[in-house]
Structure 1
Amino acid sequence: MNVQFKKGALELLVLLIISRQDQYGYSLIQIMTQKITISEGTIYPLLRRLVKEEYLNSYYEPSKEGPSRKYYAITIKGNERLKELTREWNMFTESINSFMEESDVHE
């Protein structure tokens, strides 16, 4: 998959996944890598930025396997951002799909 496509969609994907259930960094990566290839080095800076911008909150929970884990939860502001990004994504993909339908390019 094109790196730039992924980069543009990561914020949307992170907010979407965390809106369903609070996640810690590694669990988020595990969920995402079931469908796309990403690296830890991409996700952790994004999580820090989303916390700084108040789209996510973080908190620690004890872990049975070792030290406490830092979980991320979506905020009200984050849900608003998710709705905005979803609208933008839908408009973008509809536009691209209309061009694809008009062209002779096939998979």
Structure 2
Amino acid sequence: MRRGALPYCVLALLRDEQRYGVEIVRLLGEVDGMVTSEGTIYPLLSRLRRQGLVETTWRESTAGPPRRYYQLTAAGHQALDAFAGEWERFSGAVEHFIGEGDPKR
């Protein structure tokens, strides 16, 4: 389940600002259950780029080599909005069965 939601968590992190890969890994790691590695994120970012959901720019860094920054494209915003609607519907349905809708509770 985490693997299916992870791309959309990354898109959500890019919704309001550009970020670079290590920053994305760090921000995900700050949330319990979302710890991931660069070995997971960089292939995911490449896939999102090939799908046209993110685009990249290079920027000089004061702390080392230039960094590749990722930002959402219009298609990325649309994909995130569509997922958010589906997630709300899906999570509500799951909550129905494991939460209040459970007749044994």
Q: Same fold (TM over 0.5)?
A: yes
Q: Counterpart of 1:86?
A: 84
Runs of 4+ off more than 6 Å: none
Unaligned runs of 5+ in 1: none
Matching residue within 22, 29, 37 for 1:26: 22
What's 1:64 paired with?
62
Aligned positions of 1:1-107 closer than 5 A: 5-35=1-31, 36-100=34-98, 101-103=100-102, 104=104
Q: What whole-Å deviation, never above 9, does each CA across 1:58-107 have from its counterpart, x for those lacking one?
A: 110000011100000100011001101111111110100011122247xx
Q: Secondary structure at the match of 1:19?
A: coil
Instruction: State the aligned residue count.
Output: 101
CA RMSD of aligned residues (A): 1.1
Which consecutive residues of structure 2, in runs of 5 or more, have no partner in the other structure? none
Identity %: 32
Between structures 1 and 2, the one with greater helix share: 1
Distance of 1:91 and 1:40 partners within structure 2: 31
TM score, norm. by length of structure 1: 0.89
